[in-house]
Structure 1
């Protein structure tokens, strides 16, 4: 009977151990399931992220390739007139009455730069002489994608020309004033120069119309005891002449009015000309007077 009791106890112990082992396996399996789900979820998210990243990269690449190349507004005026033909006969007679013809300055490109000068000497022998010298320079700027529009480049050159006119060595009684009704902007600079040949009155008028800059230099002197010309008279004549030159620039571009061209803008944006001064054909007032006196 004791053996039967021991056998029953042994059987119950075996059953308890089997149930315990079964419970441990269930706990381990239950714990493993969330880990697997988490791993599967992470794997799924990672794939979505990679796809999104790929899509973003593709879109960015497509956007970059589709971006337009740099552009700049085309220049309004495509040409300039012959500098020796920009002034009418009557105007030339008023400014340089004894000038026979204009002297054209050298230019490597007549469509972008040009100049012409007139020299007049009214020689009255022992009673003295009246000297006049006139120079007209034109410089046209084309638009350039790296430097900017032709109008912007012309505006910069206009300011440089005005500053140069104000910075002449030895200038006395200098006066600068804007000139209304001439192109898009215009400035007149006047001053006196005392030289051994005589007392010179200098007038420089700089005007910009769209992408073209016009510089008009006009000076006069009374030589050998002759009376010095009036600065106001020279100033009025110079302003009259600059208006004709600006009108000639517009006329050379399909007849557009000054400051408002009717011609279509140039389709091409070629390299703009150098910003160097186009007054290469002109000389200083004193040098001109010295040659003619």
Structure 2
């Protein structure tokens, strides 16, 4: 009996020890598996971060390439400034066109380097023989190159065409004629017509010239009052072209280049001599034969 009890007690201890050893084995096996999983996870994580860094590098490279690609450029404007409008014509030229003018009247502008204008009026009173009226206006508009609008020269060419068209389509104009003018800037056109007003019959000439990125518009008109004869359209046309050529030369001189005749380099601007870019020179053209003459002309006796 005693041996049987001792055997059972011994068998119980052995089974307990076996259970302990089995549990310890499972713990050790599990502990060995964890580092393997951690190592695998670490490798996977490293691989992912490498891909992310590679993607970031690729993205940075793409951005660098995009920023390195050239941005749109336009040809720089040749002329950077304008002369004072009331000084573009010599004293001799003014004596020929507006002999009785005392001084020029500068137009208002808040962009002196971009636009400007000056006008002169002359009334030569011959008493009972009547009087001769003359009115002259010179407008200058310079265009700067712009990636949105294009080069200064292109803008000036477009504006030149607009000015010529405006001069050809003045309300009430009769016998309208236009002709190219040689030797004045890069391109020039003279438009002349007759205009009947209550003060008398006016002869109007508008010469539009472009030199590089600058457009010069010369408006010149005349009339005979109180029985004096109407001036010659050919004479007015010749004098207006002379004034336009001189004004163009003044622009070139202001910018350090001599000339202002056809064949000078080309460039770009964009507004007009008055506050309204599209109306300034054209307003001078249409008003020259109306507003100005009517203010200065004496009443018929």
Q: TM-score range by the shorter chain?
A: 0.7 to 0.9
2:223 is the alignment partner of 1:209: no
Partner-residue secondary structure (3-state), 2:138: strand
1:102 maps to: 104
Match of 1:151 in 2: 153
Deviation per CA, 1:167-219: give whole Å up to 9, x if none.
10010000000001111100000000011111100000000000000000000
Structure 2 residue corresponding to 1:292, chosen from 280, 291, 296 = 296
Q: Between 60-69 and 163-172, report the one with greater CA deviation.
A: 60-69
The number of equivalent residue pairs is: 236
TM-score by length of 1: 0.74
Alpha-carbon distance in 1 for matches of 2:295, 2:128: 19
Shift of residue 61 of structure 1?
Answer: 5.5
The answer (yes or no) to whether the contact 1:112–1:141 under 8 Å persists in 2 is yes
Q: Which residue pairs with 2:118 in the alignment?
A: 116
Q: How does 1:1-293 map to 2 (within 5 A)?
A: 63-258=65-260, 273=271, 275-279=277-281, 282=284, 283-293=287-297
Deviation at 1:62, TM superposition (A): 5.1
Is the contact between residue 191 and residue 203 of structure 1 (CA under 8 Å) also seen in structure 2? yes
SS at match of 1:154: helix
Is the CA contact (8 Å cut-off) linking 1:106 and 1:281 kept in structure 2?
Answer: no
Ranges of 4+ aligned residues in structure 1 off by more than 4 Å: 54-62, 259-262, 271-274
Return the alpha-carbon distance in structure 2 between the equivalents of residues 183 and 252 of structure 1.
14
Deviation at 1:277, TM superposition (A): 2.9
Rounded Cα–Cα distance in structure 1 between residues aligned with 2:102 and 2:136: 13
Which consecutive unaligned segments of at least 5 residues does structure 1 have?
A: 1-49
Counterpart contact for 2:145–2:151, Cα < 8 Å: yes
Question: Structure 1 pair 236/89, CA: closer, same or farther in 2 (3 Å)?
Answer: same
Q: Deviations along 1:226-278, whole A, 9 cap, x unmatched? A: 1000000000111111110000000000134215669xx9xxx9x95574233
RMSD: 2.6
In structure 2, runs of 5+ residues without a counterpart are 1-50
